[in-house]
Amino acid sequence: MAKIVVMGAGLGGVACAYEMKKKVGGGHQVTLVGSSPYFEFTPSNPGMLVGWRTAPQTRVGREKPLAAKDIAWVPRLVQAIDAQGSRLTLDDGTGLDYDYLVIATGPKLAFEEVPGLGPKGFTQSVCTHGHALQAWEQYQQFVQSPGPVVVGAAAGASCFGPAYETAMILDTDLRRRKIRDRVPMVFVTPEPYIGHMGLGGVGDSKGLMESEMRQRHITWITNAKITGVEDGVMTVAEHGEDGTVRKEHRLPFRYSMVIPAFKGVDPVAAVPELCNPRGFVLIDEHQRSKKFRNIFSAGVCVAIPPVEVTPVGTGAPKTGYMIESMVSAICENVAAELNGKPATARATWNAICLADFGDTGAAFVALPQIPPRNVTWAKQGKWVHVAKVAFEKYFLRKVKTGSVAPVYEKYVLSTIGIESLKQ
């Protein structure tokens, strides 16, 4: 009996545990390791910032659904990985052996790289449920005494969708409260242009997003590097195409939300030869570690080079369907090896993004994520807002029931050319 341990219990980890168990069957042990008793649907966090969603609405208890699928649940943090000895050390001092390890931890949030950034500094975050709840507490105080708002992402960020969503949702909520006219709003991003998304643009995302922001009276600074944050003031260096600083901005704010740069989590980054200098896991085309044959990885924690060089550093996003694609490849490959066959499955890395703007939204599809692409388009409409809310409910139900992608889901996606594995 093989011991398969999934480290990290977010979107990628939960999906991997369920799919792995289905693939390998009852003859092998699947264990999920994570610190929180709840699965939290982080794509809903921008809505939590303004009070549209609550924590109970966007989370599911883990223990019962996992037990129903015969998946062991270990509610602990991993302190260290002994990759040579195939053993994890947990935060209570106990050990956990594995034959295969899947690293799906998500990122470490590198707020410390910008002085004053983050919930312990002077800006808010929507990267975790806890952060979003704190942002909501601060927002309730803000609307009593509104003023300038700054939203955006720090240099090195690799997930821009939540920043755009936050700006648009704030605009929508402030208009509903009839105080939008008292809130000048600036969007700050390391992207070379609005709608770049860390993907080099998707279809006409530049024109679509610029138009949306103009209509909402949101100004922007691109090629921007946040250099420091004080109480009520953000310092931003705007760069030219040659990478030199062309202008320094001091932006006043009463409320701010900024996505930080990402790094690999400490116990993963500490393993020699497992990761790149930022702590992201180096993988081959089969999602396997380039150094350790029994370690696989999926999600934000894997090393993917930027799609292009930009004046200010931007990372490539690794979210949503792309993660599910990685997970499917890992499960296929582990199951193949357990059956004495070689690992051959490769993820498509197709990217699907539904950006909820509160009263409307934008959908982006990049097949594959990294150019050149077979399919690329961006569309806008109220249907995206409805679809995002529906997807939240749908995904939480999948977690509650312990189901992997149902047949109808795969059929719908395949009809528009979206597949999880390369043929």
CATH classification of the domain holding 242:
3.50.50.60
pLDDT attached to residue 182: 98
275 and 239 assigned to the same domain: no
246 and 124 assigned to the same domain: yes
Domain membership of residue 374 (yes or no) is no
Domain membership of residue 338 (yes or no) is yes
Q: In DSSP terms, which residues pair with 399 in a beta bridge?
A: none
The residue range of the domain holding 235 is 111-261
144 and 247 assigned to the same domain: yes
pLDDT attached to residue 420: 58
pLDDT attached to residue 417: 54
Helix (H) or strand (E) holding 72: strand 72-74
Q: Which residues are tagged catalytic? A: 159, 353
Domain membership of residue 397 (yes or no) is no
Domain membership of residue 91 (yes or no) is yes
192 and 115 assigned to the same domain: yes
94 and 192 assigned to the same domain: no
238 and 331 assigned to the same domain: no
93 and 134 assigned to the same domain: no
248 and 152 assigned to the same domain: yes
Domain membership of residue 402 (yes or no) is no
222 and 273 assigned to the same domain: no
Domain membership of residue 216 (yes or no) is yes
Q: Which of 107, 111, 121 is nearest to 319 (CA)?
A: 107
Peptide bond between residue 342 and the one before it cis (omega within 30 degrees of 0) = no
DSSP secondary structure, 198-265, as one string: TTT--TTHHHHHHHHHHHTTEEEE-SEEEEEEETTEEEEEEE-TTSSEEEEEEEE-SEEEEEPPEE--
Q: Which of 307, 332, 347 is the last residue of a domain?
A: 347
Please give the Cα distance from 364 to 259 (Å, whole number).
20
Phi first, then psi: give them for residue 20, nearest 5 degrees: -60, -45
220 and 271 assigned to the same domain: no
**Residues ≥6 apart with Cβ < 8 Å to 272:** none
**3-class DSSP state of 220:** strand
CATH classification of the domain holding 338:
3.50.50.100
How is the beta sheet containing 224-230 ordered, strand by strand?
A: 224-230, 233-239, 245-252
pLDDT attached to residue 408: 36
126 and 27 assigned to the same domain: no
Please give the Cα distance from 66 to 77 (Å, whole number).
18
Q: Which of 239, 261, 283 is the last residue of a domain?
A: 261
268 and 172 assigned to the same domain: no
> Tens place of pLDDT for every residue, the chain, 423 residues?
999 999 999 989 999 999 999 999 889 999 999 988 999 999 999 999 999 999 999 999 998 999 999 999 999 999 999 999 999 999 999 999 999 999 999 999 999 999 999 999 999 999 999 999 999 999 999 999 999 999 999 999 989 999 999 999 999 999 999 999 999 999 999 999 999 998 888 888 999 999 999 999 999 999 999 999 999 999 999 999 999 999 999 999 999 999 999 999 999 999 999 999 999 999 999 999 999 999 999 999 999 988 889 999 998 887 777 888 899 999 999 999 999 999 999 998 877 888 899 989 998 887 777 777 777 778 889 988 888 888 888 889 988 888 765 443 454 455 445 555 765
Spatial contact of 29 and 100, defined as CB atoms under 8 Å apart:
no
- The position carrying tokens 């106990």 is 94
Both tokens of 72, joined, read 């062991």
Q: Which of 347, 373, 408 is the last residue of a domain?
A: 347
Domain membership of residue 174 (yes or no) is yes
Structural domain count of the chain = 2
Domain membership of residue 407 (yes or no) is no
